Structure 1
Amino acid sequence: MKKDSNLFNFAFVTINALLLGLGSLCLGLRSIFSAGVLAGWDKGQLLIFSSYTFGLFTLIALVLGSIFLAYPLLRKNKKLLFGITIFLDWIFLIYLAADAFIYPLYRTHLNFAMIQMTFLGGGRIISFSLPMIFEIAAWILGLGLLSWIFTFISFKLATFKKLSLTALVLVLAGFCCSNLCYSWGFANFNTRLVSVFDKIPLARPLRMNTQLQKLGLIDKKAIDARKVSLDEHGKLNYPLNPLVCKPSKDYNILFLFVDTLRYDMLTEEVMPNTWKFALKNSRFNNHYSNGNNTRHGIFSLFTGLPGNYWTGSLSSGTPGILLIALQKRGYEIGIFAGAPLNMPEFHKSIFAGISNLPIYPRGKGAVDSDAFAVEDFEKWQSSLKPGSRFFSFIFFDSVHAYSFPKESKYEVFKPYWGSINHMELNNSFDPAPYLARYKNSVRYADNLIQKVLDYLEEKHLLDETIVVISSDHGDEFNDNKLNFWGHGGNFTDAQIKVPLVIHWPGKKPANIEYMTSHLDLVPTLLPEVLGCENPTEDYSVGMSIWKEAGRRNWVYSKGWSRDAFVEPNRIVLINAAGALEFLDKTYRPSKDKTIPAYIPEVLKENSRYLK
């Protein structure tokens, strides 16, 4: 009898695992369908995706279920086993459903960092409107009902022990075959095959390069030529040598950054104040952020380093070289942000060492916090001793939150989306009202920028202050009809090209067309303002933003799980497996699959500042 009971429990766990694997596959198919991936796939890719997804999550569920069955109380008490299984299935399905929602929008699978920033970011990462909350609640309840159905079916079918074992063997056999396909595809640089696994959450497919090399089925030199690894290991050695900075004409420096500001918003129609200011100063029309997210975009701005060094900066508490140089020269430093500075952890990385750093903004929402940021900057600057040089970074968050005061002067673009519900976004969704709301929030940010500029004018500071106006990254509204929304999902111009306006006392107005990036700000300011004599290579991979000669015709940009080299006519993508993919500027496959000659140079740059 005990033997029958054990077989029943094992069959129950097996059938439940198979049902969860099937549910995972359905959610995965929904995810890639919403992302528009299926349209470009052949039957082989779809088969590999299905067999791997089905097998992976069946295996995960089977292992978890077997662990719980190890407890005698659960083996004996069927009601308790039934209840716990429903709960575990529910959590399992909620995770997969959330990933199926996240991936089509951002092309990034759900991870701890995203969960942390969403739910611990004070609603400033993703705002949950009332319709969205109701829809999420409906999904959660529906998944709870589905969990009960899965558990009920598993109990009813647990008597079919041989059938359940046969089904499990077939699913796991398909899982093994899909792993072998990946191993071959990875070793032979079959991008179409390898890229399938990027679409599967928690995917860790098998690699067999050594075994395949021994069998003579692959060429090791060919693999090394086509595989790029920019992963950072080790502690920072940054700067390479101590800064040597001699007195020069010091200017005040003010960074005015608007979170999530696209390059094409700098127009007379959308940002009339900033546009008027730009016409009198230097406007860079081909400027890029070095990240498609805030973390990497701002990190590169303050360090002059690629985003791969972020982990080293955070773990060692190494601040940005710009702030190191400013503190060395005795600058007063004021940081004023409309968003928390611990999400991402700027307070422990680029701003480490700044005393009295205001980590949390004042105000209940982005609109209030941005207004308070301007107010606090003015109070702080007014309190400085006469003749003090200052650096300030004001970071506006209202555009990122799509927020603006409900006043006629900001409700310029109509009709606009009154209540944002991210769950409605798909490839057929009309972006016009969403974009109109975004533009209204940009108009509010433009007004705040003007308030700061008016203050500098009033205090007669503009002639002795360098003002930099830009953004950490852009924002997409399905520009290329591939169902990309927001940022962090790709490296097209919509997501990483940003405006840049520089007011530099004594420089004539200029309209600059050559390619620049945030990496170029540090190697401009350190020698030309702070008098630092070190060679640029001591602290940055960029170059002076004023120099056109010798400039690269590509920009390095980092994402959550991918990196990219953005060229004038294509994007060379480094996927999670370290393999190169070649895309055009609309994020579709490029005909030009030439491996860039600059890859060795980039690999050196990503290890230069490590001990």
Structure 2
Amino acid sequence: MHETYVGRSIALVWVVSFLFIVSYAVGAVSGLGPMLYMLVAACWQAVVFILPLLLLRYAYMRYRSVSIAYMLHVTALLIIMLLISNYKLHAMYNFYIGGFVINLLTTPGGIDALGLSASFYRSACLLFVFLMVFYIVAVRFLPVERLKSILSRKGLLAVMVTAIFAVEASVYAWAAFASGAEYLAVASRVAWHIPVTSRHLLERLGFSRRNDQLGVKADYAGSVDYPGLVAEELGPVKNPMNIVWLTAESLRSDMLDSRVMPNTYAFAAHNSNFISHYSGGNGTRLGMFSQFYGLYGSYWFDILHGRQSPLLLDVLINNNYRLKAFTSARFTYPEFDKTIFTRFKPEQLQEHYSPGFGWQRDKKNTTDLIHYIKQSNAKNKPFFAFMFFESAHANYYFPDQDIVEKDYLDDFDYLSVNIAKNITQIKNRYINSSHYLDSRLGLVFDALKEQGLYETTIVIVTGDHGEEFMEKGRWGHNSTFVQEQIRVPMVIHMPGKAAQVVDYMTSHLDVPATLLTALGYEQPASTYSFGQNLFADDYQRDYTVVGDWHGNALITPHAKFILSLKSSLNSTTLSTLNDGPLEGSGLTANDKRLLTDFVAELPRFYKGSKEHENSADQLSQFNRSVNKIALSTQ
């Protein structure tokens, strides 16, 4: 009897996997050829999913152990759950379970960053119970004997599997070689698809590709050498102003209006408001990294590997600033305790991430931040205060008195809610939470004025990244480089500077140079960052760079070059600045020149020959992406 159930279990998982893959990948099909490829790819990937079960079946047939049979059933159920999780994750965020997700799940604070509601856990339990019942009934009663019988015919099975793999691998290899976007789009919808390429073999057989690149080559690799200067070489601060740095989770640029954020709107009207500002990432990790280091996102992995502090904070430490950083999330996820704040002492880092919702944690931390500001004023020493606000993070919680949009989704359960259908009500939750965030920011502004610190303190108000509400097809962030995910507010109170509205392109990359210049340092920003002083008379940014876990995107005033392998496969390689369609023929000569300039300057802070695993992987992804960009511009 156990043998019958084992065979049915394997057949069931193959059928479920095949149907899941086909139902999701069919949306990317654009013709008969891609349709046939989708079916073959689904067949092969379903085989990949059942490989662990085939190994357990072999062990069971050899040892006839009931415990192995039960282990096979548990594994089968886990595979189905992983399959569902993969496609739910991709539908929401545009990526599958991989390095990024594993990092999130295994790093302290990562799960907290998801903002999961209590209803999510209830739905997850119900789903698990449903899957168990479905699995038990299916294995016991569903008529899958024909497929089970195929598993016992080893010769036929081996021929079929080999043929399916050969066809799938050959089609994908040719598509990757010839830039067959319609086939690559289908492959991107197959969870955990294993790419097989054969560029060298095809070239030896006499097939030729179009020119790979736009006359440039990015063949650097090596250990990161940041910064070009060290804090000791800079000497003492000449203009020791205080710094209050306020970064809000998921705060996109259009939230800064008089209705949603009246306090911050009034603050911006009296200071420098950069209204065409870009984060350095479409997620928290690189959005924060870029504003403290002034480096592109692809440097994150080596900075983390080396536990290197940003030059700006090194300068403050060497000049005996009082230091305090507050977060309503965790400093461990992303790993800011090993990067940005790696030199901070434990008592200089305050995490308040539970209990309560994001707005409640922000309330506690704002009170403590204001207390710290008052203490610092009493000690008459220059101080640095950073706070990371969580109010605007999904699930977008807020108190009743901060409701400005009454038509909001009452219970935002990731598993049960139809996001597309309810997106307006979900966004209204976000607007209400941003309104509460504004009240906390207003308290900080008032405290600085009450303490007589306003004219001796630099104040920065910004977001780590934006948030999309399906304006371009996605919800949230960390998925693509559309404007909604990468545009953030940037308001700076710089003592002595008149109020201004700046409408040209600026970037998080410019923050370190702006602050170090304000503190009195005259060294060229190019020696320690990719940024510039935002207040320089000759400030001009021809392009900016935004990163994700998989690579960068180059943003010019006219176009976007998506160099992240994941984002380019799942969206587009080229687009207009506002995310419209753009063919390579529509690029200007200046756009192509800027791509060349970017490739040339990207390795500025890489020197030596020692390679780290992640930087080499980033480089490989970058080269593939540049190749794909170049092909599309021919």
C-alpha distance after superposition, 1:114-171 (max 9, x if no partner): 3553685376423333443343233323333444466556678544567675366335
**C-alpha displacement at 1:74, in angstroms?**
5.4
- Out of 285, 289, 293, the position equivalent to 1:295 is 285
C-alpha distance after superposition, 1:75-101 (max 9, x if no partner): 342644442221111111111100110
Alignment of 1:136-151 (within 5 A): 136-148=124-136, 151=139
Larger displacement relative to structure 2 (201-210 or 528-537) = 528-537
Distance 1:328 1:242, change over 3 A: same
How far apart, in 1, do the equivalents of 2:277 and 2:55 lie? 53
Alignment of 1:125-164 (within 5 A): 125-148=113-136, 151-152=139-140, 158-160=148-150
Structure-2 residue corresponding to 1:332 = 322
Alignment of 1:223-372 (within 5 A): 223-225=212-214, 234-243=222-231, 244-246=233-235, 247-356=237-346, 357-358=348-349, 360-361=351-352, 363-365=354-356, 366-372=358-364
- Out of 388, 397, 422, the position equivalent to 1:430 is 422
When the two structures are superposed, what TM-score results if normalisation uses the length of structure 2? 0.85
The alignment yields a C-alpha RMSD, in angstroms, of 3.1
Distance 1:204 1:351, change over 3 A: same
Give the total of aligned pairs: 592
How far apart, in 1, do the equivalents of 2:440 and 2:221 lie? 41
How far apart, in 2, do the equivalents of 1:369 and 1:57 lie? 45
Q: Which runs of 4+ in 1 moved over 6 A?
A: 11-15, 226-230, 577-580
**C-alpha displacement at 1:467, in angstroms?**
0.7
Distance 1:46 1:467, change over 3 A: farther
- Out of 85, 96, 105, the position equivalent to 1:109 is 96
**Unpaired stretches in structure 2, ≥5 consecutive residues:** 608-634
Q: Name the SS of the counterpart of 1:533 in structure 2.
A: coil
Distance 1:28 1:574, change over 3 A: farther
How far apart, in 2, do the equivalents of 1:586 and 1:15 lie? 51
Alignment of 1:91-240 (within 5 A): 91-111=78-98, 113-114=100-101, 117=104, 121=109, 124-148=112-136, 151-152=139-140, 158-160=148-150, 166=156, 169-219=159-209, 222-225=211-214, 234-240=222-228
Contact 1:332/1:390 (8 A) holds in 2 = yes
**C-alpha displacement at 1:498, in angstroms?**
0.5
How far apart, in 2, do the equivalents of 1:257 and 1:548 lie? 26
Contact 1:55/1:172 (8 A) holds in 2 = no
**C-alpha displacement at 1:432, in angstroms?**
2.0
Instruction: Say yes or no: does 1:602 pair with 2:593.
Output: no
- Out of 430, 435, 449, the position equivalent to 2:441 is 449
Distance 1:227 1:359, change over 3 A: farther
How far apart, in 2, do the equivalents of 1:505 and 1:256 lie? 17
How far apart, in 2, do the equivalents of 1:129 and 1:254 lie? 32
Structure-1 residue corresponding to 2:432 = 440
Counterpart amino acid of residue 47 in structure 1: L
Contact 1:127/1:401 (8 A) holds in 2 = yes
Structure-1 residue corresponding to 2:628 = none
Distance 1:166 1:76, change over 3 A: same
- Out of 525, 529, 540, the position equivalent to 1:551 is 540
Structure-1 residue corresponding to 2:615 = none
- Out of 509, 515, 537, the position equivalent to 2:526 is 537
Counterpart amino acid of residue 460 in structure 1: G
- Out of 557, 565, 573, the position equivalent to 1:576 is 565
How far apart, in 2, do the equivalents of 1:552 and 1:596 lie? 16
Structure-2 residue corresponding to 1:90 = 77
C-alpha distance after superposition, 1:504-538 (max 9, x if no partner): 11111111110011001112111x22333332222
How far apart, in 1, do the equivalents of 2:147 and 2:21 lie? 25
**C-alpha displacement at 1:479, in angstroms?**
1.2
How far apart, in 1, do the equivalents of 2:375 and 2:500 lie? 34
Counterpart amino acid of residue 23 in structure 1: V
C-alpha distance after superposition, 1:440-461 (max 9, x if no partner): 1111110000101111000000
**C-alpha displacement at 1:54, in angstroms?**
2.6
Contact 2:326/2:351 (8 A) holds in 1 = no
Contact 2:423/2:470 (8 A) holds in 1 = yes
C-alpha distance after superposition, 1:191-231 (max 9, x if no partner): 33333333323223111111111112023x7235599879x
**C-alpha displacement at 1:369, in angstroms?**
1.7
Larger displacement relative to structure 2 (361-370 or 505-514) = 361-370
**C-alpha displacement at 1:415, in angstroms?**
1.7
Counterpart amino acid of residue 441 in structure 2: I
C-alpha distance after superposition, 1:407-449 (max 9, x if no partner): 32x0221121111122345574132221111111111110000
How far apart, in 2, do the equivalents of 1:145 and 1:330 lie? 63
How far apart, in 1, do the equivalents of 2:216 and 2:159 lie? 34
**Unpaired stretches in structure 1, ≥5 consecutive residues:** none
**C-alpha displacement at 1:398, in angstroms?**
1.3
Larger displacement relative to structure 2 (21-30 or 555-564) = 21-30
Q: Name the SS of the counterpart of 1:598 in structure 2.
A: helix
Larger displacement relative to structure 2 (131-140 or 339-348) = 131-140
Distance 1:421 1:363, change over 3 A: closer
Identity among equivalent pairs (%):
25
Q: Name the SS of the counterpart of 2:573 in structure 1.
A: strand
How far apart, in 2, do the equivalents of 1:581 and 1:551 lie? 26
Q: Name the SS of the counterpart of 1:572 in structure 2.
A: strand
Contact 2:214/2:596 (8 A) holds in 1 = no
